[in-house]
Amino acid sequence: MKRLAVLASGSGTNLQAILDAAADPAYPAAVVLVLSDKPGSGALSRAEAAGVPTEVVTWDEHGGDRRAFTKAVVETLRSHGVELVVLAGFMRILSEEAIHAFPNAILNTHPALLPSFKGAHACEDALEAGVKISGVTVHVVDVEVDAGPIVAQAPVEVRDDDTPESLQERIKAVEHDLFPKVIAEWARAEWEVVGGRTRRRGRVPI
Ligand code: GAR
């Protein structure tokens, strides 16, 4: 059973999906901590409702210094004995100290098919580009933002009348299914990272 921390800034619907999945005794990870950079976020309320310990580390209390912020996040994760970290709508970029502290043990869900539409405005950018298919990418967090090894992707159709909000809602519905599944597979060590890509363990590349 892996000790899992969920980092979230927003409403926490992905956190909720993870909490719901982890309620199954067969799930291979236990959510031992929810950490948010936003006091009063929906994610914190959901964690409290589920009886999961919470911590708040704000950007401002570290003077907007990314290394100091990351150091505080890493220390908090360590103090809770965390082994696996997932970013579920965590809208802060961690510095490389976090990647070194948790090598290949931080997963992120991104609301687009990477490497398209990196960054904090993926749904707006997809609509602006006029793509007909966007989707979800779950990837390992690496030093370069939204560029770590991809673990899983799922498509979501873009509709002519979509707004960024409506597209994001349909993307979230797919994330709620995909992200907890991928976290479980990662916790069971069903994947490995080889040469900057992920692959299922035991499979020999052709
Ligand atoms: C999710 O759609 C996630 O992919 C996105 O924020 C949303 C959080 O929703 N993350 C990013 O945009 C990261 N760049 P939630 O708070 O309801 O889980």
Q: 85: domain CATH number?
A: 3.40.50.170
Q: Is 110 part of the annotated catalytic residue set?
A: yes
92 contacts 9 by C-beta, under 8 angstroms: yes
Q: Does residue 159 sit within a domain?
A: no
How many angstroms does the Cα of residue 169 sit away from the middle of ligand 1? 10
Q: Select which of 62, 80, 100, 110 is catalytic.
A: 110
Q: Determine the Cα–Cα distance for residues 160 and 7; give it in Å rounded to an integer.
A: 33
User: What is residue 203's predicted lDDT score, i.e. its pLDDT?
Assistant: 64
In angstroms, the CA 16 to CA 89 distance is: 12
Pocket of ligand 1 (CB under 6 A): 8, 10-14, 88-89, 109-111, 120, 122, 168, 171-172, 175
Cα(205) to ligand 1 centroid in Å equals 33
The confidence score (pLDDT) of residue 202 equals 77
- pLDDT score, position 204: 62
Number of structural domains found in the chain: 1
Using the Cα atoms of residue 26, residue 189, residue 201 and residue 194 in order, give the sign of their dihedral.
positive
Structure confidence by residue, pLDDT tens digits, 184-200: 999 999 999 999 999 99
Q: Is residue 161 part of a domain?
A: no
